[in-house]
A and B are shown apart, each in its own frame.
Chain A
């Protein structure tokens, strides 16, 4: 079954700790995205990548980092510099990142502060 797998489902971070959220897709999509979802604020774009070894900052990239070493994988690291990391994180992909291709989402990772 093709889709996007995010892990873990729930993650807890201690103060000063970096944590990494996993996103894997087997849809053969070129473009991948990370969003943050907070109540009442909708989805905000953190980073996106349209091709392997290249990625761009979104609207709220500060305190986050990504890598795109493989087409299938786009991990997100929430660094200790992100002072308010508690949120629902969603990974998405689209065929080639062009405007007329819709995005498909994983089931998210909920990150909380210990």
Chain B
């Protein structure tokens, strides 16, 4: 079983839709959770960074962590064509030195 599971998609939504992206994980020791956005032929850029359980909001983006279910989500409100990219989740133990990445979900927002 992989440490981190992420549905690869592809996911296609109309402009203005609410998008929900998800990852599940197997190890309850993960403490820090990140979402990255990766455009084609570019490196991942950090979108959201959360610690332990709860929600964090930044503009149109909300990151949610449910440690009891070992489940994290990224919500995108009022999605735009510029949100079309691959979204990667990542996580790490408190005293870890290695990040564990999901395989990424490909999102297309159709104008």
Residues of A in contact with B (beta carbons under 8 Å apart):
4, 6, 31, 40-43, 45, 48, 50, 56, 58, 90, 92, 97-100, 102-108, 110
Q: Is the CB of B96 within 8 A of A99?
A: yes
The listed residue (A58, A104, A108, A110) touching B98 by CB distance below 8 A is A58
Q: Is the CB of B99 within 8 A of A103?
A: yes
Q: Is the CB of A99 within 8 A of B43?
A: no
When C-beta atoms are compared, the residue in chain B nearest to A9 turns out to be B41
Q: Given A90-B43, A90-B44, A104-B46, do A43 and B98 touch, yes or no (CB 8 Å)?
A: no
Interface residues of B toward A: which range?
20 to 34
8 A Cβ contacts from B1-40 to A: 4, 6, 8, 31-32, 34, 36
- B66 on interface, CB distance cutoff 8 Å: no
Instruction: Give the docked Cα–Cα distance between A37 and B89 (Å).
Output: 14
CB-defined contacts of B49 to chain A, threshold 8 Å = 102
Q: Is the CB of A42 within 8 A of B101?
A: yes
CB-defined contacts of B94 to chain A, threshold 8 Å = 99-100
List, sorted by A's number, 5 A–B pairs whose CB atoms are closer than 8 Å: A6-B43, A42-B102, A102-B32, A102-B34, A104-B46
- B110 on interface, CB distance cutoff 8 Å: no
Instruction: Give the docked Cα–Cα distance between A98 and B94 (Å).
Output: 8
